[in-house]
Chain A
Amino acid sequence: MNTNPELPIPISYIAGNYFIFSVDAATFLRREHNICGILAGTLPQVPQQNVFTGLPLELMPEEARFLVEEGVACIVDEVNFQKQGMQSLVEEDCKKYLKELESQGIETMQMLLRHKERQKEGALKKIAEKKATKAKKAELKQAASDATADDSASPFFEDSQPSTPSQVSSRRSSTLGSRDAMRITPAISHPPLPQQPPAEHLLPLPQVPSSYPLFAHLHSKGYFLFPGLRFGCQYLAYPGDPLRFHSHFLVVSTLWDEELDLMKIISGGRLGTGVKKGFLIGGTDKNLEESSDAGSNVRTFSIEWAGM
Chain B
Amino acid sequence: MVDLDEAAINSPSNDATGHLDVDLTDETQDFRMLNNLSFLTDTPEASLPKRGEKDFEPNPTLFQADVLSASRRAMHNALSYPRLHNPKNIVVGVYAPNGPAPAPSATSKLDTIAEHSPGKKPAPTSIGVSPDACVYVTNPKGQLFRTIGQADRWSRIWLLPEEALYLLERGSLDIRWPRCAVGDGEEDDVEDSGIPMSLQAAYACFLGHGGLTMERFSVYTGLRRLGYTVIRAPGWTQDSNIEAAGAKSSDELENQLLRRQGPGLAGIFTRFLEWLHASPPTTAMGPVVGFGFHRGYVDLFRKLSLIPYYDPATASPSSATLPYAVVFHVYKPSTHIRKSAPPSPDFRIAVVNTRTNTTMPTLSQIGTLLESTPFDPPAANKPLYVRLRHGQRNVILAAVDQGVVSYLRVADAAFGKEKIYQSQAVRGNKQRGPPRNKFKKQ
Contacts and interface: CB of A to CB of B under 8 A. Distances in A.
Interface of A: 1, 12, 14-17, 19, 21, 23, 26-27, 30-31, 36, 38-52, 54-56, 58, 60, 78-79, 81-83, 86-89, 91, 94, 97-98, 101, 108, 112, 115, 119, 163, 165-168, 179-189, 192, 209, 226-230, 239-248
Contacts, number: 276
B274 to A, nearest CB: 42
B72 A1 contact: yes
B182 A115 contact: no
B85 A58 contact: no
A151 B182 CA distance: 60
B207 A14 contact: yes
Contacts of B226: 48-50
Contacts of A40: 214, 218, 221, 403
B200 A56 contact: yes
B431 interface: no
A198 to B, nearest CB: 16
B24 A51 contact: yes
B4 interface: yes
Contact of B170 (A38, A39, A44, A52): A44
Nearest to B173: A185
Contact of B182 (A31, A52, A89, A227): A89
A179 B87 CA distance: 7
A171 B259 CA distance: 69
B68 to A, nearest CB: 5
Contacts of B79: 23, 26-27, 39, 43, 54-55
Secondary structure at the B interface, as helix, strand, loop or mixed, is mixed
B16 to A, nearest CB: 12
A245 B55 contact: yes
B30 to A, nearest CB: 6
Interface size class, chain B: 35 or more
Interface in B382-409: 399-404, 406
B114 interface: no
A87 B181 contact: yes
A47 B355 CA distance: 28
A185 B196 contact: yes
A307 B221 CA distance: 42
A16 to B, nearest CB: 7
Contacts of A115: 40
Interface in B62-98: 64, 67-68, 71-73, 75-88, 90
The 8 A-B residue pairs whose C-beta atoms are closest, nearest first, are: A44-B171, A15-B208, A229-B401, A38-B403, A47-B170, A185-B83, A183-B85, A240-B58
B68 A86 contact: no
Nearest to B9: A46
B196 A186 contact: yes
Contact of A49 (B9, B183, B199): B9
B60 to A, nearest CB: 12
B174 A183 contact: yes
B197 to A, nearest CB: 7
